[in-house]
């Protein structure tokens, strides 16, 4: 984030870049893999993109959204954005965590996360029992303002967080939490547990992220991933209208098989896959419905429930379309 640029200029750029009427304003990466040269072309002369998990070249066009093209691998079922945006850094600016500009991000990150405390405590209980009852060093990747780090510290973990948004990381540090600005590759040291909660679907290179986690974990250390499950019944039923299809925020959509394949190839053994229901604030639910349907009444309801007196109202939601995966480094 460039501190010289004013907030209003950034807002305008964001709106321009992520407007939903086509590709205008979005820059994309050129293909990096030399292997693409040898791939067969489709009838219109365009080579299909390579699957990030199985390397297959038989991906089908799935849908276009927010100016991004989504493909689905016929081999392993991975859904992915191609080409990737040049940079996702600007998306995770101040606006993402406190403004929900152009339909992205959180209205207020900490308030939106508050109802998730019971689910997060369940995660910590599962991690602790996998570590044989001990707590140890925990690194939360994509820690935002340190919401999960704070809970982990309270539960007895020696926890710290890494966060790409300097704005969010600085808010966490302001609350006395050990949140470093950067990515997993910038972190030194060895950990007993690494958590990636609602993170892996956002990163440009999930394989590199998981490989990096393996290098930062001690032998038999635990990696926890929470991510949308594109193989879930709800996701399959909704198809292109699944509310978690929201590029350029979400770039990859895994299922239980291909996330397992990626983890095993990076040196992990999956020991638990499950679904853990979360609660959400009502304003967050209406904001998601507004983004999903573009219907104005949902926007007005989101504003109503965003008022101070109603902003903490929350309800449990379990569409069973998120997976919680716990893996152990071999």
Q: Does residue number 231 form part of the binding site for Zn ion (CB under 5 A)?
A: no
Shortest distance (Å) from residue 54 CB to Zn ion: 3
Number of residues that bind Zn ion (CB under 5 A): 8
Distance in angstroms (rounded) separating the CA atoms of residues 215 and 68: 32
Q: Are 320 and 234 in contact (CB under 8 A)?
A: yes
Q: Are 89 and 169 in contact (CB under 8 A)?
A: no
Shortest distance (Å) from residue 52 CB to Zn ion: 7
Q: Identify which of residues 73 and 263 has a Cβ nearer to Zn ion in the complex.
A: 73
Q: Identify which of residues 56 and 299 has a Cβ nearer to Zn ion in the complex.
A: 56
Q: Which of residues 77-96 bind Zn ion (CB under 5 A)?
A: 78
Shortest distance (Å) from residue 81 CB to Zn ion: 14
Q: Are 109 and 281 in contact (CB under 8 A)?
A: no
Q: Map residues 51-80 to x or -, x wherever contact with Zn ion holds by CB under 5 A.
A: x-xx-x----------------x-xx-x--
Shortest distance (Å) from residue 62 CB to Zn ion: 13
Angle at 327 between CA 105 and CA 183, to 5 degrees: 40
Return the H-helix or E-strand segment holding 180: strand 179-181
Q: Identify which of residues 83 and 299 has a Cβ nearer to Zn ion in the complex.
A: 83
Q: Identify which of residues 76 and 199 has a Cβ nearer to Zn ion in the complex.
A: 76
Residue position matching structure tokens 């904001």 = 287
Q: Map residues 33-52 to x or -, x wherever contact with Zn ion holds by CB under 5 A.
A: ------------------x-
Q: Identify which of residues 76 and 212 has a Cβ nearer to Zn ion in the complex.
A: 76
Long-range contacts of 181-184 (CB under 8 A, 24+ apart): 183/141, 184/139, 184/141, 184/209, 184/212, 184/213, 184/216
Q: Identify which of residues 97 and 254 has a Cβ nearer to Zn ion in the complex.
A: 254
Q: Cα torsion for 20, 23, 29, 31, to the nearest 10°?
A: 120
Shortest distance (Å) from residue 258 CB to Zn ion: 6
Shortest distance (Å) from residue 39 CB to Zn ion: 14
Q: How large is the C-alpha radius of gyration of the chain?
A: 20
Shortest distance (Å) from residue 38 CB to Zn ion: 17
215 φ/ψ angles, rounded to the nearest 5 degrees:
-70, -25
Taking the CB of residue 38, how many other CB atoms lie within 10 A of it? 8
Return the H-helix or E-strand segment holding 149: helix 147-154
Q: Identify which of residues 194 and 245 has a Cβ nearer to Zn ion in the complex.
A: 245
Residues in contact with Zn ion by the rule CB under 5 A = 51, 53-54, 56, 73, 75-76, 78
């Amino acid at each position: 984030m460039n501190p010289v640029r004013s907030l209003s200029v950034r807002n305008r750029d964001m709106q321009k870049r992520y407007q939903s009427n086509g590709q205008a304003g979005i820059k994309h990466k050129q293909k990096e893999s030399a292997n693409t040269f040898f791939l067969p072309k489709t009838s219109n002369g365009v080579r299909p993109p390579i699957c990030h998990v199985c390397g297959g070249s038989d991906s089908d066009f799935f849908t276009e959204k927010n100016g991004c093209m989504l493909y689905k691998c016929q081999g392993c079922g991975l859904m992915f954005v191609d080409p990737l945006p040049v940079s996702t850094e600007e998306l995770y600016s101040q606006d993402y965590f406190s403004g929900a500009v152009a339909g992205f991000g959180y209205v207020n990150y900490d308030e939106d996360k508050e109802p998730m405390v019971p689910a997060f405590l369940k995660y910590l209980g599962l991690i602790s029992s996998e570590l044989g009852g001990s707590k140890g060093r925990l690194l939360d990747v994509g820690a935002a303002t340190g919401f999960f780090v704070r809970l982990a510290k309270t539960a007895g973990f020696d926890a710290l967080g890494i966060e790409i948004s300097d704005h969010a990381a600085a808010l966490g540090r302001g609350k006395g939490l050990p949140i470093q600005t950067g990515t997993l590759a910038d972190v030194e040291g060895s950990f007993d547990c690494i958590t990636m909660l609602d993170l892996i679907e956002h990163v440009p290179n999930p394989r590199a992220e998981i490989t990096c986690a393996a290098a930062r974990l001690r032998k038999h250390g635990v990696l926890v991933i929470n991510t949308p499950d594109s193989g879930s019944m709800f996701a399959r039923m909704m198809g292109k209208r699944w509310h978690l299809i929201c590029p350029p925020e979400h770039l990859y959509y895994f299922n239980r098989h291909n996330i397992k394949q990626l983890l095993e190839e990076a040196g992990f053994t999956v020991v638990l896959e499950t679904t853990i229901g979360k609660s959400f604030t009502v304003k967050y639910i209406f904001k998601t419905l507004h983004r999903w349907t573009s219907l104005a009444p949902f926007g007005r309801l989101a504003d109503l429930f965003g008022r101070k007196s109603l902003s903490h109202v929350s309800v449990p939601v379990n569409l069973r379309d998120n997976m919680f995966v716990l893996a152990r480094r071999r």
